[in-house]
Structure 1
Amino acid sequence: MKKIGLFGLMLMLILVLAACGSGDSDEASGEGGTDNGDAKKYTVGVDTTYPPFEFQEDGEMKGIDIDLINAIAEDQGFEIEIEAMDFSGIIPAMQAGQLDIGMGGMSITEKRKETVDFSDPYFESGLSLVVAKDNSDITSIGDLKGKTIAVKKGTTGANYATENKEEYGYEIIQVNDSTSMFQEVANGSAAALLEDYPVIQYAIAKSDLDLKVAGDKLNGDNYGISVLKGENDELLKKINDGLANLKENGNYDEIISKYLGE
């Protein structure tokens, strides 16, 4: 009986040690992302209704942001998984721990800096006022008094419209995506819309929309790649290093030219 008890005790000790030794392999990798063999894997949130930066074609995600983050990941030796969602949900998803990286033609603003850390700028943009192609009455934002303007939720266009509403005396319609915003102007529900100039120029050229840009850009801003504030310094460094390498080796210019011909 004593021999049997000793054997059982030794067997239990072996099983406990084996269980403890196997526990580390399935844990998350620490500062954002998950371990995937030798490379970390990060989840990227994008808005696929935002060509030329993100869009779907033949069931495949394409665009400047898609190509750019894939090239950065390859350059820096990490993997990515891309999640499509409404632009307004990207930062909340990062706050909830569902995303590691946020893109979507995200303008670098002081308000967003309260929540996220941005990479170095990768594209200079700005807001354009857009009206129906046959509209000759609206040539500037000053012509919108008593009219309605359409904007996309969570964007710099929405912020600009809200901040200047009292000064210019217009009403605001907020929608979830660019397609719906274009439709508001097309069906006459809104007299104008606000959109980033590269996006609307691309949309007009590629989709033959009955829209046109009215006047000069309303402002200037820069796009950045975002991570949760104070939580992903290592990842942010990888993004910046990768972006710098792409600009140096010419791959960045190739990506931009592919979609904008610049």
Structure 2
Amino acid sequence: MRASSLCLFLLLFVFSPFSAAGADGARLERIARAGEIRIGLTGDYRPFSALDEKAGEFSGLDVDLGRSLAGALGVRPVFVATSWPTLSADLEADKFDIAMGGISVTEARSKIGLFSEPVLSDGKTPITACANVARFQTLEQIDRKGVRLVVNPGGTNEKFARAHIHAATIVMHPDNVTIFQEIVAGRADLMITDAIETRLQAKLHPQLCAVHPDAPFDRAEKAYFMPRDAALKARVDGWLEGLRASGELKRRIGAWVE
């Protein structure tokens, strides 16, 4: 091979997307050097994560699991606030090393980063005033003029609503923490969100009932979202498998959901 051809080959290899495998482990090395793993959380999606803005502290299932992951890596956890509209952009901007907090696996996100093995499987289902449960059993019943469906922006709830709701009114509400109060107050008729969230919010708001949470409209896997570093993914997957095999993952999920 001539010298000019060899140089061209090397340049193509270095800048080719397939050479990314050469960077595997770089993220893990940086985490080890820093002595911390930065974990992105939206802080507005119970039971996965909730942010107490006054105290500046996160709590929830994935806060507990984030601490467990950090312990497995021998570093300390640092929780970083993100949001559903900016989640992917924040990952690309290197604002955190991994995103947790009830993230659904989607094609768009998979083009940007890697997902861990699934933590759990869930699906979209309605939550409404208990008196209205019979009214909103199907998408056909929901997608009618006069029905007000409240939605938080930027995530899979909005994506689902835009794909399936055309006649009903979609009411955007920017705060996923207070969004259920819109139904309680009568400013919205229902919300469609993940079944795990409807179960918890029905407990927090006795006026509200989850509509067939055991038979949601669709199914999606929830997993942890991270940069394209296969070595980091392998460590996260190994940690998850250990929790699952020991029964610890099921126990932790049950502690926050049941």
TM-score (norm 1): 0.77
Residue in structure 1 matching 2:95, options 82, 95, 98: 98
Query: Higher mean Cα deviation, 47-56 or 133-142?
Result: 133-142
1:31 aligns with 2:45: no
RMSD: 2.3
- With over 3 angstroms needed to count, the CA separation of the structure-2 counterparts of 1:248 and 1:137, relative to structure 1, is closer
Deviations 1:196-244 (A, max 9, x none): 1111211211x2342112344111111000012x3x2222121111111
Residue 196 (structure 1) aligns with = 194
Given that residues 126 and 198 in structure 2 are in contact (C-alpha distance below 8 angstroms), is that contact kept between their aligned partners in structure 1?
no
**2-side partners of 1:55 and 1:164: how far apart?**
28
State the 1:256 CA deviation. 1.5
Structure with bigger gyration radius? 1
Q: After superposition, where does 1:139-150 map in structure 2 within 5 Å?
A: 139-144=137-142, 145-146=144-145, 147-150=147-150
Structure 1: which 5+ runs fail to align?
1-28
Q: After superposition, where does 1:194-233 map in structure 2 within 5 Å?
A: 194-205=192-203, 207-215=204-212, 216-228=215-227, 230=228, 232-233=229-230
- Tell me the amino acid that sits aligned with residue 154 of structure 2: G
- Tell me the amino acid that sits aligned with residue 221 of structure 1: A
Given that residues 34 and 42 in structure 1 are in contact (C-alpha distance below 8 angstroms), is that contact kept between their aligned partners in structure 2?
no
What SS does the corresponding residue of 2:103 show, helix, strand or coil?
coil
Residue 161 (structure 1) aligns with = 161
- With over 3 angstroms needed to count, the CA separation of the structure-2 counterparts of 1:236 and 1:129, relative to structure 1, is same
TM-score (norm 2): 0.79
- Tell me the amino acid that sits aligned with residue 96 of structure 2: L
1:248 aligns with 2:245: yes
Matched length: 227
- Tell me the amino acid that sits aligned with residue 251 of structure 1: E
Deviations 1:41-77 (A, max 9, x none): 2211112221111124694422211111211221232
**2-side partners of 1:245 and 1:31: how far apart?**
21
Given that residues 42 and 49 in structure 2 are in contact (C-alpha distance below 8 angstroms), is that contact kept between their aligned partners in structure 1?
yes
Q: Which runs of 4+ in 1 moved over 6 A?
A: none
Given that residues 33 and 100 in structure 1 are in contact (C-alpha distance below 8 angstroms), is that contact kept between their aligned partners in structure 2?
no
State the 1:257 CA deviation. 2.3
Structure 2: which 5+ runs fail to align?
1-24
**2-side partners of 1:252 and 1:176: how far apart?**
31
Residue 86 (structure 1) aligns with = 83
